[in-house]
Amino acid sequence: MDAIETAPKAHFREYWDRRRILAPVMISPALLYIVALVGFPFVLAILYSLSDATTGNPSIHFVGLRNFATILHDPVFIRSLENTFLFTFVSQALVVVLSSILALALSEDFRGKQVVRFLILLPWTAPISLGAIGWLWIFDSVFSPMDWLLRAAGLLGVPHGFFGADSNLYWLGRPILAMASVIVVQTWRILPLATVILLAGISAIPNEILDAAAVDGASFWRRLFQIEIPLLLPVISIAVLFGVVFTFTDMTVVYVLTRGGPINSTQVLASWAFFVGIEAGDLGQGAAVALFLFPVLAGGTALVLRFARRREVA
């Protein structure tokens, strides 16, 4: 009797132990999540980009590629596209350099290491909207503490000051300074994530390799550029991939600090898609602007992953 009762249970366990059955069941929640939150909006964006839908009349009437032709002749879109690449690549170049320095420093033992790690991670854990509002005060045209420090150092507000004779720099009111400001804030935001990724990569380097280099008398710079950085290239590429995706598709920093100004000098594709599609109500053109992000990100992601895989195999 017991053998008869345990036989179905054993058969049931054997059935669920099969990889062909268990793997699809375990991965199905993630697939449903992706389809619901990514796939459906993506398909809807494609439909909107091929229609004349607006917020007043969201019904889909297909107009072909008219929306794409329209935005390609829009000077603001061209400016936003250029700003997006500038905003992304400059900020990520700074992130790679600074995160490498921080990760190497945090891999060493020193007093207060945990406190320093907490302070470095704080920008990533805090809501970006609150952080950007804090930076909005730092770049204030009248009460900026940065301007106060420059005036106190005699670099601003004096006839022959390095930054001019004006009492304030008006960080968010001048095109070049505004772009520099949003790049600084985006770098500050992404830096903790890249630092954690590189720190994990450094901790994964076998100690035997570093000990052998020390025995051979390798200097710090030689060990850094000939051993550690080559071994970290796959990890650095993944950190760059995450940073590029986050930066290329982000509009929070630009929206809070400048709203794309002055005169669209800091406008990026994500913010311009929001202004056109949501604030202006043209869902079709807004979706067309947003879809320009997809081929660039898809191609860049494929290249980065291929590079990381080749370096890992090598």
Whether residue 156 lies inside any domain: the answer is: yes
Element (H, E) at 300: helix 293-313
Q: How confident is the model at residue 183, as a pLDDT?
A: 94
* Mean pLDDT lowest among 144-153, 157-166, 189-198, 280-289: 157-166
Whether residue 14 lies inside any domain: the answer is: no
Whether residue 124 lies inside any domain: the answer is: yes
pLDDT in tens, 4-41: 555 555 555 555 556 666 777 778 887 788 777 777 88
Q: How confident is the model at residue 24, as a pLDDT?
A: 76
What's the CATH number where 121 sits?
A: 1.10.3720.10
> 186: closest CA among 251, 141, 138?
251
Domain that holds residue 275: 74-313
pLDDT in tens, 106-135: 887 778 778 888 888 888 777 888 888 889
pLDDT at 79 over 90: yes
Whether residue 308 lies inside any domain: the answer is: yes
Whether residue 19 lies inside any domain: the answer is: no
> 235: closest CA among 118, 103, 123?
103
Using a 10 angstrom Cβ sphere, with 0-12 exposed, 13-18 middle and 19 or more buried, the burial of residue 1 is exposed
Q: Are the C-beta atoms of residues 171 and 178 closer than 8 Å to each other?
A: yes
Q: Which 8-state DSSP code applies to residue 129? A: H
Whether residue 47 lies inside any domain: the answer is: no
pLDDT in tens, 224-241: 777 888 888 888 888 888
* Number of independent structural domains in the chain: 1
Whether residue 12 lies inside any domain: the answer is: no
Whether residue 100 lies inside any domain: the answer is: yes
